[in-house]
Structure 1
Amino acid sequence: MSNGYTELNNYRFERKFVAPNMSRLATEMVIKQNQAFFNPVYQPRRINNIYFDTPGLDCFFDNLFGNGNRWKCRLRWYGEVFGKIEMPVLEFKIKKGLVGTKRSFRMPAFNFDKHQFTFRDIEQLFEEAALPHDIRERVAKVQPVLLNSYNRSYFVSMNKRYRITVDDKLEYYNLRRGWNHFGRPFTEDFKTVVELKYDQEWNKEVDMITNQFPFRLDKNSKFLSGMSHFRSEIAV
């Protein structure tokens, strides 16, 4: 796939850090001053995701309770949140212990209308997509539960072994089967999320990078943050 999209065919570490009340500019300055010599790569852009879950919210509870073997399903695209979505990608993120990978599938373009969105729009999108049989069976068992959107910038170390993404301006929208309200998103305006990504073979050297971070190591799942806000009625 093109357009700066990262495909995976192996398992990697994804370590997340939170920089509360720290601006993007200040966060990026810390990253650039790291001895691994991180430099910007790609253009910063807006990332949008529709997350899916089972009727029993299996993915939500697996994340909430830290199940070592878990998965998440999302539809991702770049740019504007609403309107004609030209290059969406369906992702299954798979976590096994401390490492993870993903399976990715190009999806047809679709129109995401903030005034008329229904679950049937997603069902039709899945019907039109050229998906493998096992993936088609899996998506038949899930439904949209959350929309989120955020700004992301990208950095890579001088030796190309480590990648960092910086996310801010986080917005979340609730998705329900019977109604969808996009007028009042839940926002995390003063939170910046830093994610360090690298292959398993480079784990022994990662401390030289993270020891220079003033950020707080945090599991920080955007999926869990949004779901916990909108599904506060769930008894845990």
Structure 2
Amino acid sequence: MNIEPSSPVRSGPAGEWRRVRVWDLPTRLFHWLAVGLVVLAWLSQRMNWMQLHVRAGETLLALVLFRLLWGCCGSETARFSRLLASPAAAWRHLRQLARREPDTQVGHNAAGGWMVALLLALLLVETLSGLYVNNDIADEGPLSEIVPAVIANAISAIHAYGWDVLAAAVVLHVCAIALYALLKGHNLVRPMVTGVKPLPAATRAPRRASLWLAALLMAFSALVTALLAFYL
């Protein structure tokens, strides 16, 4: 059992509890940077600041590529093998949404994992389609000249409608966080800020991957994005 010296054991309503680090720094940075970049992409599009919109999208693409790689070889709670439970398990979890109980979940719960996977998929579609966008007026993505106009226009439509789907998924995600706070008394935001949450003392701290590995994967993701955006 991995008991951290900086996490003293204390008594709680369900026995002894201690603070456990469940989210590593790369996962938390990805989460909040992605939030900021999505807001920036929306604002820049509304204000017609298209150069800023493009840069926000390219940066977001690099982050999403990093998160996909981190989900394969990163820290334990960031891995897709831990993220995706069976649909039956997710349904059983949702059926207990109104039950008020202590939060003993290490990482995402069975339903939350699928929401994260959906958001990542939508972000990937939105950022990749942005590289091809061509609205026949003024704004062209860096790859729009290498595909036929009919395909570029179809991808532009995907980019436009994909944003609406992404916005709906974000709203659903925020509402779910609020429901967990109101119905179950679970604070899902604080652990994503601090990285730690109170858990039963017997809980094993999840394994964390090296920050050097995270830096290497981020550099690789940035390189791939740069090649897609500027050289292809």
Return the TM-score normalized by structure 2: 0.23
Structure with a larger share of its residues in helix: 2
Which protein is bigger by CA-based radius of gyration? 2
Structure with a larger share of its residues in strand: 1
Which one has more relative contact order, counting CA pairs under 8 Å at least 6 apart?
2
Return the TM-score normalized by structure 1: 0.22
